Structure 1
Amino acid sequence: MFGSTRWQGPVPPPSAREVEAPQVPGGKVYAHEGGLLLPGSDGKWVNVTTLKVGSKTIPAHKYGLAEEKGEKLVLTPEEEKVVAAVRKIWEAILKMPVEEETDFFESGGTSADVTRLVEEIKFHTKVELDNTDIYMAPKFGENADAVIKKMRGGDKITVEYDPIIMNVNGMELKFPHELFIDGKFQPSSSGRQMTYDTINPSDETVICKIPKANVDDVNRAVAAAKAAFETGEWRKMSARERGKRLYKLADLMEEHKEELATLESIDSGAVYTLALKTHVGMSIDVWRYMAGWCDKIEGSTIPISNARPNFNLTITKREPIGVVGLITPWNYPLMMLSWKMSACLAAGNTVVHKPAQVTPLTALKFAELSVLAGIPNGVINIVTGSGGEIGQALTDHPHVRKIGFTGSTEIGAQVMASCARSNIKKVSLELGGKSPLIIFPDCDIDRAIKQTCNAVFFNKGENCIAAGRIFVANSIHDSFLKKLVEETKKYVIGDPLDRSTAHGPQNHKAHLDKLVEYVQKSVAGGAKVVLGGERLPRKGLFFPPTILAEVDDDNFAAIEESFGPIMCVSRFDDDDIDGVIRRANKTEFGLAAGVFSKDVSKVLRVSDRLQAGTVFVNTYQKTDVAAPFGGFKQSGFGKDLGQEALNEYLQTKTVTFEY
């Protein structure tokens, strides 16, 4: 018996099949879709998922059924050669002639021989086998058939859905567009007519219609996630096996990276090359990073006072929380999903995810890949639509035990309040920013120019850690500003799928309108437009890289986040280090900050005093999946990325023994 667990549910389970078994107490066992229930001598029941019957391993739920005999495969000449090659491998290992009914184990094969057999078959036939395939089919005929079926693709997992098919970016793009609940794509419970349009910001055309989920859909998704967490395969799976599934998911994302990047580009306006490298590339990296952590989540042993004359021992265990709700923004749709969900699943939780209403497509394509990776039904659920309705339903839901949110500080405060009112959910928030970047006169000017533009204009400025305010030392201010303008003019604005484009359209119309208004308010407060500042007169939601100079501390642009490609430049006296630090910290945000100087002592002192969760020194935008990411003050709390991210999705249990 393998995969045994103590059964906590009713006996017999619903729809169970009773099987006579005189060798066990009570004389009967129960086969059900989750395995086979066996009675113990203590009156408790144990559930097993696989059984050894003779030399063959079978799925436990098939115990007591007559063995199904499939039709004999009709082989092509090439397939006959493959079977002959497999036969030679068997004969070389067993050192005997091999017939159809030859049983590998009854003929002397050992577990070590299984590994050799699998590797030899892989090497000579290029067919991917696993040791389990031999245990499940130990006879030569069965093994040969399994190899041929795999060659024909007969064992591949398929995902059924009504696809959207587009010819775009030199490829045929096929993707789902419905809710993903309990492993299946499906319309909203309110009906197929309850949809909204998702728009391509480069030309403002409709890509497709997306279901507008309602509270009933959220309830169904949470119920599926709860069942998967409490009684499903995910809970029974070893941490190492869980990691293997996440590695497989990352591999599939890499295999489909061009499709994912194209979807990200047409749905969010991200430049394709950036989407490929960062939006998708970093997503793949974080799934692999977190997959490696699955079997390294450890507790501790703690020395405590003994209850004499007895002894005591205390241990801690790190356990998953349960059903997690994830709410992510529209600027990096796939990457924000991946940053949070990878840690969430690595810790053993299940999830209901609400992507941003305006950018749902990569999340739904990701859901398709998760099925192909073998993630069990109910572990990942994705509901699309309004944050005001379904986001609120998630934060209010009594069976959701944790919310991970990335978005504005205003909405983050509402999320936190809702989590407190409902069932005191654990919550992590990554919110707004107004990140200062300080340019000292002793910096590498050329590097600082390029990095400053990157700090502001990366991903069209739709970036939570974008440098919201640039402080430039007086002695270099004018020349530095001139070079900033020259560098910014090099940005090629255009179709995000064009490989020469460096700056694409803004994400959606309402956001573009806010950027126009942002510049107008800043100018009214005394700021000077040096470059850009108006919507471009072309099709699509294009706003150029913009530079504002002479931004005083009380100006609208010095206080509020633009979340767009707007650089706000201010002066400071070269020697007034304390003053510029005070000005940099004079904000309720604390997500990131930056400093440029060749003076190591200076940058260390300044970085110590900057009130931000991430400080960049002589660089900017350099994030990595192994480095924790999160803010101070009203930029939120909790970390994405790195080992610390796992803490957001785990809870500690203390167990004390006396002996």
Structure 2
Amino acid sequence: MPPTTHAEWLSLAASLVPPVQHLVGGADDPGGGAVFPLVSPRDGSVLAEVADAGPAEVDRAVAAARRAFDHGPWPRLSPAERGAVLRRFADLVEEHRTELALLISLEMGKPVTEAYEIELRTTINTLRYYGELADKVHDESPRTGSDALALVTREPIGVVAAVTPWNFPLTLASWKIAPALAAGCTVVLKPSEQTPLSALRLGRLGAEAGLPDGALNVIAGQGPVAGRALGLHPEVDVLAFTGSTAVGRHYLRYAADSNLKRVWLELGGKSPNIVLPDAPDLDTAAATAAWGIFFNSGAMCTAPSRLLVHSSIAERVVDAVVERARTLSVGDPLDPATEMGPIASALQFDSIQKHIAAAREDGARLRAGGHTLPDQDGFHLQPTVFDRVVPGMRLARDEVFGPVLAVLTFDTVDEAVALANDSEYGLAAGLWTADLSTAHQVARRLQAGTVWVNCYEEGGLNVPFGGYKQSGNGRDKSAHALEKFTELKTTWIQL
């Protein structure tokens, strides 16, 4: 069981010794001696000096993954054997759940209870899901004439580079590495430079679970250096990235400038959350809208950052969201009473404040928050709500990636759909209505990879996740994720 009090978590944090070296070829790798300071957003202190990968370290990690793919046992194990290792991996993550939750909370500010209960649960379930799925993906034998036999087989594509963000450091890493490993690929994982510790620990648990040397390598480093080197590397066959749309464009260029590696992107979002007057429960709709934008300090690519509410019910719904914003407990992420922790970094903290200033300049009305918390250490910001937002405003168009809600109103369903689709993004959307026909019709019209009806952020690992438009391509989760890490081969046998 995890600690239950603030004092217990603080005590555990004081005794924590995190890994700070790369994991390459199954062994600790200190790199060339370069390090970077990892600053905790909870109090601004330096957590650790972490090995900083440059091109040489990236070369070693990719070479280890290439050897493991070309000559090692992992791609040659049966799918059932690979699945068994992934399930042992999940068991070890479960055993070290408290430690991993603490690392996440310290390095990016997620409330530790949410890290334990939500992020680690999803990570464990992801490893188990693909461990169970590994031997249940079938090849094909299309019908031919009596003089031939056709076989269509799925083969692992090779070396996968996974570049993952800081907001869900283990969940989003597991969404990449679990299907890649299940398919028989080998992996180089580069976590965000803001959240290397949990990923470095995860890699060591994978080795302990039985992943052969080089099957899973983890390197810490800066995106413009280590991430760029992975994107340009000629021995990387697939690059899977979750992060900003701007950086996603760089990875497409890197692929074009190198070996035309496959690039799979899960990018930004400006997700609409539509509340119609016939919503089955307006109180639940308002509470969910508030939870969705303030959860994880707003650092969620699917966050319902645009609340589109019918003008006849706008006052009631927005007042409820504002009340929740004003009563939310913001503080130390190691305190179980904290409902919203700090912003993950000084850079992101400054970026959000600029978005708030821009909303004020553009004429949006501030209803709640909008200020820092000077009595708190670290990068703490009040939950923020703006109404009287119109489509041309920057707050209606730009991804803030913070606890800042933009409220827009509409008078007809057609207007709501037009507002929802008026975005370069298309990751997710929410819809609240009691009418079944409206739910189906509007869901089909929304340009989004996921549409939640009378809920938000619900689902399971057996449904795909990804976006339309500039929110990316390909899908994480479900059996569809395996498609990113396999090649289809046709073998035609003349009888």
Provide the TM-score with structure 1 as the length reference: 0.72
Alignment of 1:98-247 (within 5 A): 168-169=11-12, 172-188=15-31, 190-191=32-33, 194-247=34-87
Given residue 391 of structure 2, which amino acid in structure 1 is its aligned partner? D
CA contact (8 A) 1:167 1:173 kept: no
Indicate the SS of the match to 1:301.
Answer: coil
Partner Cα distance (1:347, 1:547) in 2: 44
Q: Which residue of 1 aligns with 2:363?
A: 526
Does 1:454 pair with 2:297? no
Q: Does 1:496 align with 2:333?
A: yes
Deviations 1:521-566 (A, max 9, x none): 0111110111001221121100111000100110110010100000
Taking the aligned partners of 2:454 and 2:12, their CA distance within structure 1 comes to 36
2:150–2:493 contact (8 Å) kept in structure 1: yes
Note the 1:270-419 alignment, pairs <5 A.
270-305=110-145, 311-419=147-255
What pairs with 1:58-77 in structure 2 (closer than 5 Å)?
none
- The one-letter code sitting in structure 2 at the alignment partner of 1:251 is D
Q: Relative to structure 1, is the Cα distance of residues 181 and 170 closer, same or farther in structure 2, using a 3 angstrom cutoff?
A: closer
What code does the residue aligned with 2:372 have?
Answer: R
User: Does the alignment pair 1:535 with 2:372?
Assistant: yes
Judge conservation of contact 1:454–1:620 (CA < 8 Å) in 2: no
Q: Structure 1 578/239 Cα, relative in aligned 2: closer, same or farther at 3 Å? A: same
Q: Cα distance, 1:491 vs. partner?
A: 1.2
Query: What is the aligned partner in structure 2 of residue 555 from structure 1?
Result: 393
1:457-495, CA deviations, whole angstroms, 9 ceiling, x for partnerless residues?
111100000012111111111122111111222311111
Gaps of 5+ in 1: 1-165
Counterpart of 1:603 (choices 431, 435, 439) is 439
1:34-53: per-residue Cα shift (whole Å, max 9, x none)? xxxxxxxxxxxxxxxxxxxx
Structure 2 length normalisation: TM-score? 0.96
Q: Is the 8 A contact 1:226 1:323 kept in 2?
A: yes
2:200/2:219 contact within 8 Å kept = no
Q: Offset of 1:198 from its aligned partner?
A: 0.6
- 2:489 partner letter: K
The counterpart of 1:514, out of the listed 341, 347, 351, is: 351
Q: Does 1:570 align with 2:408?
A: yes
Equivalent pair of 2:287/2:320 in contact (CA under 8 Å): no
User: CA offset at residue 402 of structure 1?
Assistant: 0.3
For 1:350 and 1:198, locate their aligned partners in 2 and report how far apart those are by CA, in whole Å.
Answer: 28
Residue 612 in 1 paired to residue 448 in 2? yes
Judge conservation of contact 2:417–2:442 (CA < 8 Å) in 1: yes
1:641 equivalent among 460, 477, 484: 477
Letter in 2 for 1:564: G
Query: Do the aligned residues in 2 keep the contact of 1:454 with 1:621 (CA within 8 Å)?
Result: no
The answer (yes or no) to whether the contact 2:13–2:102 under 8 Å persists in 1 is: no
For the residues of structure 2 that align with 1:272 and 1:169, how far apart are their CA atoms?
Answer: 12
SS in 2 for 1:296: coil
The residue matched to 1:288 in structure 2 has which SS? helix
The 8 Å contact of residues 354 and 391 in structure 1, kept in 2 or not, is answered as: yes
Q: Secondary structure at the match of 1:540?
A: coil
Gaps of 5+ in 2: 1-8
Q: CA deviation at 1:167?
A: 6.8
Match of 1:627 among 455, 463, 466: 463
| 1:372 Cα offset (Å) | 1.2
How far is the alpha carbon of 1:601 from its aligned partner? 1.4
Question: C-alpha separation between the residues in 1 aligned to 2:91 and 2:194?
Answer: 27
Equivalent residue number for residue 118 of structure 1 = none
For residues 557-580 of structure 1, give each alpha carbon's deviation from its aligned partner in whole angstroms, at most 9, with x where no partner exists: 00101000001101111xx11111
8 Å CA contact 2:325, 2:369 repeated in 1: no
- Paired AA for residue 337 in structure 1: A
Q: CA RMSD in A?
A: 1.3
**Pair member with larger Rg:** 1
CA distance in 2, matches of 1:167, 1:505: 16
Q: CA deviation at 1:299?
A: 1.0
CA contact 1:198–1:207 (8 Å) conserved in 2: yes
Report the equivalent of 2:3. Answer: none
Which secondary structure does the structure 2 equivalent of 1:324 belong to? strand
Letter in 2 for 1:652: L
Once residues 508 and 168 of structure 1 are traced to their aligned partners in structure 2, the CA distance between those partners, rounded to angstroms, is 24
CA distance, structure 1, for counterparts of residue 452 and residue 220 of structure 2: 35
Question: In 2, distance between residues paired with 1:624 and 1:169?
Answer: 32
Alignment of 1:251-266 (within 5 A): 251-266=91-106
Identity of aligned residues (%): 39
Residue aligning to 1:654: 490
Q: 1:294 to 1:171 in 2, by over 3 A?
A: farther
Query: For residues 256 and 184 of structure 2, what CA distance do their matches in structure 1 show?
Result: 24
Residue type at the aligned position of 2:219: V
Q: Is the 8 A contact 1:611 1:632 kept in 2?
A: yes
Paired AA for residue 371 in structure 1: A
Aligned-partner Cα distance in 2 for 1:168–1:250: 26
Count of residue correspondences = 485
Aligned amino acid, residue 446 of structure 2? L
* Matching of residues 82-97 of structure 1 within 5 Å: none
